[in-house]
Structure 1
Amino acid sequence: MKKRHGRKLDWNNLRTYSEKMQWEKLFDNDPRKVICSDKFAVREWVKGKIGEEYLIPLIGVWDSAEDINFEKLPDQFVLKTNCGSGDVIIIRNKSELTEKQIRGYRAKLNYFLKMKFGYNTCELHYNKIYPKIIAESFIDSKSTDLQDYKFLCFNGKAHFCWVDIGRYHEHRRNIYNMKWELQEWHQYNYGIYEKDVEKPVNFEKMVMLAETLAEGFAHVRVDLYNVEGKIYFGEMTFTNSSGFEKIEPESADMMLGNLWEIDTSIKV
């Protein structure tokens, strides 16, 4: 915390969003967090809350990379584990894959399966997820770069939408409020997109879906995609970047912290 934010953590006076995130990681043992953070198990949660039509089609699930039969997979697909971050493998043209590349992908996936992601940053709920590999359909926007809409929700209400552009090349992020007004605060690790992002036509529908999924949680980030007007669920995250991404200016970190009500006397 001191290395990333320049100050020690005062457990008796948690005020900012980043500070409260540290409490969330260590003391909030809500079992629903495990289900909703599991990229496979959360599918049933989403199905029950908003409906199956918002799920990216599932192609397969495996316990080991050796179990994957690449010959039976479609030409385009996405591979990832259900319990990590940054482990996405996107295949846009299977016919171009070499045996060496496939071996490399298997090794990479097995590495992520064995990794205890939660220990690296004290996001301990990830360690309670039984690791699996999942394959999903590749979704793509024909007109624009695929954008990721991340709704920051407190007490079941969406307050901000982080729009990620170019996630796999020149990753940038713009932040909007629910009136789609561009915010001046930002996260240090992300560049700001130079152009204003167009508000989705069905933005209010996206907000409604995000808030339905966020219902009952003091804090959660709900990620959605919007592909040519079709809304897809991405994931739910309770510990954004482990609370280590610096938010600038610091007053914005405080503002977000004020939206997040936690009772630090309770160790649930």
Structure 2
Amino acid sequence: MKLQNYLPTGHLWDNALSLLNARKRLGYFPNSRQPRTFNEHILAQKWFFEGELELAKRITDKAQVKDWLTELGRDDLVVPTLGVFESVEDIETYHFEGELIAKSTHGSGEAIIRTAQNGKAFTREDLEVFRSWLAEDYYKRSREPNYKGLRKRIIVEPLLRDETGNPPKDFKFFCVNGEPFAIQVDHGRYTHHTRQLYDTNWNLLPYAMCYERNPDPMAKPALVDEALQSARQLAQGFGFVRVDFYFMPSGLKLGEMTFFPGNGAELFTPPEGDTQLGQIMLEISGKR
């Protein structure tokens, strides 16, 4: 278990640990009080969260966000739910069908994909993984305030596939003050993970973030403009949020909404990309 799980919590501790983590990963000591880079902006939001934090917590919960979408009249964005479980025993006795994906409602980055056979989908090893998810307090691990106090549950959804028969690409819309300014596209997330960044006019940006960058731009998907409009709607009221969509043959589906991507420690190649994206954020927010 990581050291931060044993260290004190609270605003000062959370931010100090986040800055030290970013310094270790980025190679520079971020200035979260006067942010200039993309990562500094993300860390600054830990010092002063712009928006309603309780709403951010609800949106972060992978089950509760679906109720929020319904209240907004955006049922069209909701991915169906097969079940939400508070114990491993409930999962073990549930009758599943088809291809499915399991995630924790209170964590980030974890997923298990399986195909049910005779009503059973998960192995003993999978159930032990679920047990570890239910035992983890992701807030202590990440020190992201929107995860603090979330109910610990496992959500199971049908596995989405796009028109090629593969799991859909992730299209992630970075928004400041409700305005999208960049689009992250993840390819082959469960195979060979690559990533591209585009501006909102679908120009490929000349830097990579965390993963290898394919230098060949992809054709602009038909749903980009609709996704930009939906991202504007969902991002209202927050300083920064990343709105993630799946582009499906039937239309858009919301993946998740993220307030602290990479925990403010995303490596850029070349490093200048960190500053360039940060400057765009300053221009939009009027703080340049």
TM-score by length of 1: 0.88
Query: Displacement, 1:229?
Result: 4.8
Matching residue of 1:266:
none
Matching residue of 1:255:
276
Find the residue that maps to 2:182 and give its secondary structure. strand
Matching residue of 1:165:
187
CA contact (8 A) 2:92 2:127 kept: no
1:59 paired residue among 82, 88, 100: 82
1:126-168 Cα shifts (integer Å, max 9, x gaps): 1221111111111102426421100011111111111100001
CA contact (8 A) 2:181 2:199 kept: yes
Amino acid of the structure 1 residue aligned with 2:134:
L
Query: Does the alignment pair 1:184 with 2:209?
Result: no
Counterparts in 2 of 1:194 and 1:19: CA distance versus 1, 3 Å: closer
Inter-partner Cα distance in structure 2 for 1:56 and 1:137: 8
Structure 1 unaligned residues grouped into runs of 5+: 264-268
Q: Higher mean Cα deviation, 237-246 or 50-59? A: 50-59
1:214-247 Cα shifts (integer Å, max 9, x gaps): 1111110000001225211100000001011112
1:48 paired residue among 59, 71, 88: 71
Counterparts in 2 of 1:125 and 1:179: CA distance versus 1, 3 Å: same
Q: How does 1:133-212 map to 2 (within 5 A)?
A: 133-143=154-164, 145=166, 146-187=168-209, 189-212=210-233
Find the residue that maps to 1:149 and give its secondary structure. strand
Inter-partner Cα distance in structure 1 for 2:138 and 2:222: 37
Inter-partner Cα distance in structure 2 for 1:68 and 1:55: 22
1:175-223 Cα shifts (integer Å, max 9, x gaps): 1111111110221x20113542222112211111111101111110000
Query: Displacement, 1:69?
Result: 4.5
Find the residue that maps to 2:82 and give its secondary structure. strand
Counterparts in 2 of 1:81 and 1:116: CA distance versus 1, 3 Å: same
Inter-partner Cα distance in structure 1 for 2:55 and 2:233: 15
Q: Higher mean Cα deviation, 245-254 or 224-233? A: 245-254
Q: How does 1:1-268 map to 2 (within 5 A)?
A: 1-28=22-49, 30-69=53-92, 72-91=95-114, 93-95=115-117, 102-143=123-164, 145=166, 146-187=168-209, 189-258=210-279, 259-260=281-282, 261=285
Find the residue that maps to 2:106 and give its secondary structure. coil
User: RMSD across aligned C-alpha pairs, in angstroms?
Assistant: 2.3
Inter-partner Cα distance in structure 1 for 2:151 and 2:286: 28
Inter-partner Cα distance in structure 2 for 1:214 and 1:64: 32
CA contact (8 A) 1:148 1:164 kept: yes
Amino acid of the structure 2 residue aligned with 1:240:
P
Inter-partner Cα distance in structure 1 for 2:194 and 2:123: 30
1:16-73 Cα shifts (integer Å, max 9, x gaps): 2212222323442722221111111111122223511211111111111211146511
CA contact (8 A) 2:96 2:119 kept: no
CA contact (8 A) 2:178 2:232 kept: yes
TM-score by length of 2: 0.82
Inter-partner Cα distance in structure 1 for 2:118 and 2:84: 23
Q: Higher mean Cα deviation, 202-211 or 64-73? A: 64-73
Find the residue that maps to 1:42 and give its secondary structure. helix
Inter-partner Cα distance in structure 2 for 1:12 and 1:213: 27
